[in-house]
Amino acid sequence: MNRFRNFMYGRYGFDQFTRALIICSLVLSVMMNLTRISWLILIAYVPFIYALYRTFSKDIQRRTHENMAYMRFSGNLRNRFVHLKLYLVGTKSHKYYKCSKCKQLIRVPRNKGRIAITCPKCRNEFIRRT
Does residue 81 sit within a domain?
Answer: yes
Percent of the chain scored above 90 by pLDDT?
45
Q: What is the pLDDT of residues 41-71, one digit of tens each?
A: 888 899 999 999 999 999 999 999 999 999 9
Same domain, 73 and 31: yes
Are residue 23 and residue 36 in the same domain, yes or no?
yes
Ramachandran region of residue 70, left (φ > 0), alpha (ψ -120 to 50) or beta?
alpha
For residue 119, report the phi and psi dihedrals to the nearest 5 degrees. -70, 130
Statement to judge: residues 21 and 85 lie in one domain: yes
Confidence of residue 117 (pLDDT cuts 50, 70, 90): very high
38 and 81 in a single domain? The answer is yes
Residues 61 and 98 in one domain: no
Q: At what angle do helices 60-88 and 16-35 cross, to 10 degrees?
A: 70
Domain housing 66: 11-89
Amino acid at 102: C
Same domain, 52 and 110: no
Number of domains in the chain: 2
* pLDDT, position 63: 92
